[in-house]
A = this chain, B = another copy of it.
């Protein structure tokens, strides 16, 4: 077996260029940058200067059939993610795609189907899964240490963006160009962690405020109300218009409660299941003994580099994938359902829903805007790690 994976990057804008530098500088063991692709000449010029020996492509279809790589990393605008992923896998390449998997579940499913049919590896850049606190929270919930889920509340409003951010490209903050607003661009990490930790809701209601804070075509503020299979409820509150924002996740269950905030987790655990006390107690206001514990993160958040390394390790040494492509469908189903609800006056949308109908409605939104996809992109200033790692 080979000791390294040749990887090409499709789309070397904000994220793609950062990934290119990370890989080319040898930060990911087992990955070698062997191709770059972009439709913008200025970016290919930057690649020629930065990585003179790496082949350059202006057309991703040429790249995937060129034989230059074993795998591709897709960092194009959202609506191209699944199409490129599926085509690359059918051309024999493994795929690591930036989030979201695409802009609608039905499109993203094409990539998952291609992975199943070709046996190629398909992963998604859900880099916040490398955060040790979220991993610990998932363990506590999924092993039942917190008992049966009662409620989750995530206030994740620290995705602040200025108007200049949205003005940086014509495709930004449009239905056709990005497939949505804060739920599609900033919050996918959190939507993914939310379902990764608490499980998928069975239905969703949402209020999505289009252009509450900015001059854009999509939502910059959203409130989601989720129902889980056991009757528990969840809230997810996000915005790009608040400053300073909040990042606080609270989860309560029959055996206690946990709160993640300010980079640490506080855990309250009950000696006895609350639901036993509820019916057995003679008192009206029972005091149940509660233990309190502060849990500090163990290990570091390896973020994007961690996902890249995991992708390489999976291909080279069968390490389990931390963020499989199929998981990308889950957070996307949540945001798609939120839009369906918002477009239906807050109606309760069952999950799974009619994803063909959603895709149709989304396309109509995009056509009504009359904006081009992937054109006219100017690079946004801002740090790779700072922007997309967990911030408290």
Contacts and interface: CB of A to CB of B under 8 A. Distances in A.
Interface of A: 150-151, 153, 155, 157, 160-165, 168, 205, 207, 209, 212-214, 221, 223, 225, 231, 233, 235, 237, 239, 241-246, 250, 252, 256-257, 259, 268, 270, 274-275, 277-279, 281-286, 288, 290, 345-348, 380-382, 386-387
Given A151-B242, A157-B151, A207-B225, A164 B283 contact: yes
Contacts of A281: 162-164
A274 B165 contact: no
Contacts of A274: 241-243
Query: What is the count of identical protomers in the complex?
Result: 2
Given A241-B278, A345-B348, A387 B157 contact: no
A154 to B, nearest CB: 11
B161 A288 contact: no
A343 to B, nearest CB: 15
- Which of A157, A275, A284 has the most B CB atoms < 10 Å from its CB? A284
Given A223-B225, A257-B246, A278-B163, A237 B153 contact: yes
Contact of A153 (B155, B205, B209, B233): B155
A161 B235 contact: no
A115 to B, nearest CB: 34
A225 to B, nearest CB: 6
Nearest to A242: B252
A233 to B, nearest CB: 6
Contacts of A245: 252
A336 to B, nearest CB: 19
Contacts of A277: 162, 243
Contacts of A162: 277-279, 281, 283-286
Contacts of A284: 161-162, 164-165, 168, 380-382
A381 to B, nearest CB: 6
Nearest to A155: B153
Contacts of A168: 284
Given A157-B252, A161-B285, 20 more contacts: A150-B242, A162-B279, A162-B283, A162-B285, A163-B278, A163-B279, A164-B283, A164-B284, A207-B225, A214-B278, A223-B225, A223-B235, A241-B278, A243-B277, A244-B288, A283-B382, A284-B380, A285-B386, A345-B347, A345-B348
A213 B253 CA distance: 12
Given A279-B163, A284-B161, A286-B162, A150 B257 contact: no
